[in-house]
Amino acid sequence: MSQSRHQLRRPFAAHDRRPSPRWRTPVALAAAGSIALTGFAALPAAAEQPEGPGQGACKTQEDPQWNGWTDHAELGAALRHIERNSAGRVEVSQIGTSTLGRELWSARVGTGDRVLLVQSAIHGNERTGTEALLGTLRDLGTSRDAATEHLLSEVTLVALPMVNPDGGELNRRRNVLSWSEVVERYPQLADAPRAWYHGLRGDGIELPGFDLNRDFHPDLDYVPRAGDLPGRQVDAGFFLAPESRAIRDVYVALRDEFGAVDGVVDLHHMGPCDRITGGPQDGKLISVALDYPPLGAADGAAYQAEWPLLDQDKSRRYALAVARGIQRAYGEQSPLAGVGRYYHPDEREYAGQGRSAFALNGSASVLFEVRGQQDDLGQKQRGMLVRSVRTGVESLLSAMASGQVDRLDGDAFFALPDYGWDSSAD
Ligand SMILES: [Zn+2]
C-alpha cells in the first residue's frame, strides 16, 4: 500500500497553489532546485543543503508513511473518547457522510453567544489542523480552571476536524466523486459541462473528484443550474459535493441558532520551504501564513452591494488576533512564531471558497496555511506546526471571549511579514 502510494505521489502537486514568490533566499532556491532535478529518490538530500547564517535548512520528509497522523477511524474513536471524558461539555455529532460513506464529524464545546466554526482538512492531505483541534477539544473538555470556564461561558466552538476523509485516506487534495454521481443527484445537469473544479484524477490518483474548497456559494440556498456551469475560478461554486453541503448546513444551523456566526477558520497547508521576508524572523522558514478572503480588488468592493455584510477588516482583526497570540505565546524569535501573511494580491479572487462564501454572509474568516504537506514534515516539525496552529486557534477563542478581537486595528495585519511575493512592490 505504502509502496504504491509512493510511486503515485508527486511532490508539491497538492500544495495550495500560488505563483512562485518573486524573491527567494539562495538556500531556498538550492533546496527547490535539488528537488526538481533529482525527483523522489534523492529528496532526503534536500535536508543536507548547507545552512545559511541564521537559517534552518528546509527539511522535507520523503517517507510516504504517515504514521502518527490521525486517520478517519482513529478520529472517530478519539472524538468519542473526548466526549466521554468531558462530563457533558463536548458534544460530538455526525453532520453528514462523505461520498464513500465515511462519517463527517462535528465537536461542539462552550455555551457562549459568540460562535467560532473551525474546519480542517478540506484538502485531504492538509491535516495539522486535525491534530491541533483534537488537542484543543481535549483541553477544553477537561480543564476546570477559571480561565477555561470563563472562555466556555463566552464562546461556542464548533470544530469540524476532518471534512474530506475520502481524500484524506488517499493522502490527496480532492475528494472522490464522479461526475455521473453528481448528475444522478442533480438531473438538471445532464447536459451541462463539468464544473471547472471537478477533475478526473488528483495527486497522481486516477479517481475523479472535486477541489471541495471551490464548491461554495454565498447564496447558501443555491441549487445547481446547468447554465451556471462550468463556471470560472472567480465565480461562486455550486454545492455539488456532500462534504461541502454538510459544512454549509452546519453554518446555516449555527446562524439560525445564534443569529450570526462570528468567525470561520479554515485550516490548510502550503509549500514546505517558504521563508519569511522582513520582520524579526527575516529569511527564516515560515510556520503559519494567515489570510482574509480573496475577493478581488479594493477589498471586495464589487461584492459589497449584493453582500453588504462583507467586512474584510473584521477578518483581518481576527487574523491579527491569531498572529499576536502565537507571537505572545512563544516570543517573536521562536520558530513556532514564524507568522506571516498569505499570498494576497488584488487579482486573487476565489468567490467559491468556503471562507469567501461565509465572509460574504458576515462572518470574519481566517485562513491558516501551515508550511509543508503532511508527508513533507518530519516528526519534530510536525509537532511544532501542530502547536502553532493550536495556539493560533486558542488565541482567537480567547480574544473573542475577552472582546479584544473587536478592539484590534485591522490595518496592522498588513504589517505582518509576507514570504517574498510582494517584496519588489514599489
Ligand atoms: Zn489547502
Residues 299 and 345 in one domain: yes
pLDDT at 25: 36
Query: Does 255 map to a domain?
Result: yes
Ligand 1 centroid–CA 284 distance in Å is 22
The end-to-end CA distance of the chain, in Å, is 51
> Shortest CA distance to 340 belongs to which of 394, 408, 286?
286
Q: What is the model's pLDDT at position 406?
A: 98
Averages of pLDDT over each 10 residues, the chain, 426 residues: 33 47 37 30 30 48 62 98 98 98 98 98 95 98 97 98 97 97 98 98 96 98 98 97 98 98 97 90 94 96 97 98 97 92 94 97 97 76 92 98 98 94 52
17 within a domain of the structure (yes/no): no
Residues 284 and 407 in one domain: yes
Domain count, the chain: 3
Query: Torsion angle, CA of 388/392/395/399, rounded to 10 degrees?
Result: 160
Ligand 1 centre distance from Cα of residue 362 (Å): 22
Q: Could you tell me the distance, in angstroms and rounded to a whole number, from the CA of residue 292 to the centre of ligand 1?
A: 14
Q: CB atoms < 10 A from the CB of 331, how many?
A: 10
Position 381 scores a pLDDT of 82
CA 243–ligand 1 middle distance (angstroms): 15
Domain coverage including residue 54: 1-9+23-65
Facing residues of 340 across strands?
289
- Shared domain for 53 and 110, answered yes or no, is no
Distance 332 CA to ligand 1 centre (A): 26
In a domain, 16, yes or no: no
User: Do 60 and 81 reside in the same domain of the chain?
Assistant: no
| Whether residues 184 and 158 fall in one domain | no
Do 89 and 214 have their domain in common?
no
Rounded to 10 degrees, the C-alpha dihedral 110/292/376/26 comes to -140
Quote the ligand 1 centre to 268 CA distance (angstroms).
4
Is residue 233 domain-resident? no
Q: What is the Å distance from ligand 1's center to 288 Cα?
A: 13
In a domain, 289, yes or no: yes
Residue 424 is assigned to a structural domain of this protein: no
- Answer whether residue 421 is part of any domain: no
Q: How far is the CA of 153 from the centre of ligand 1 (A)?
A: 32
CA 90 to centroid of ligand 1, rounded, Å = 27
**Distance (Å) from CA 126 to ligand 1 centroid:** 6
> What's the CA-to-centroid distance between 17 and ligand 1, angstroms?
8
**Nearest-5° Cα angle at 118, 113 to 120:** 165
Cell numbers standing for residue 142: 477537561
- 320 and 276 in a single domain? The answer is yes
The CATH code of the domain that includes 317 is 3.40.630.10
**Is 371 found in the same domain as 294?**
yes
Whether residue 338 sits in one domain with residue 306? yes
One domain for residues 37 and 148: no
**Span from the CA of 149 to the centroid of ligand 1 (angstroms):** 33
Q: Residue 334 has what pLDDT?
A: 93
**Residues 158 and 205 grouped into a single domain:** no
Å from CA of 368 to ligand 1 middle: 9
Flag whether 100 is in a domain.
yes
Q: Are 30 and 52 contained in the same domain?
A: yes
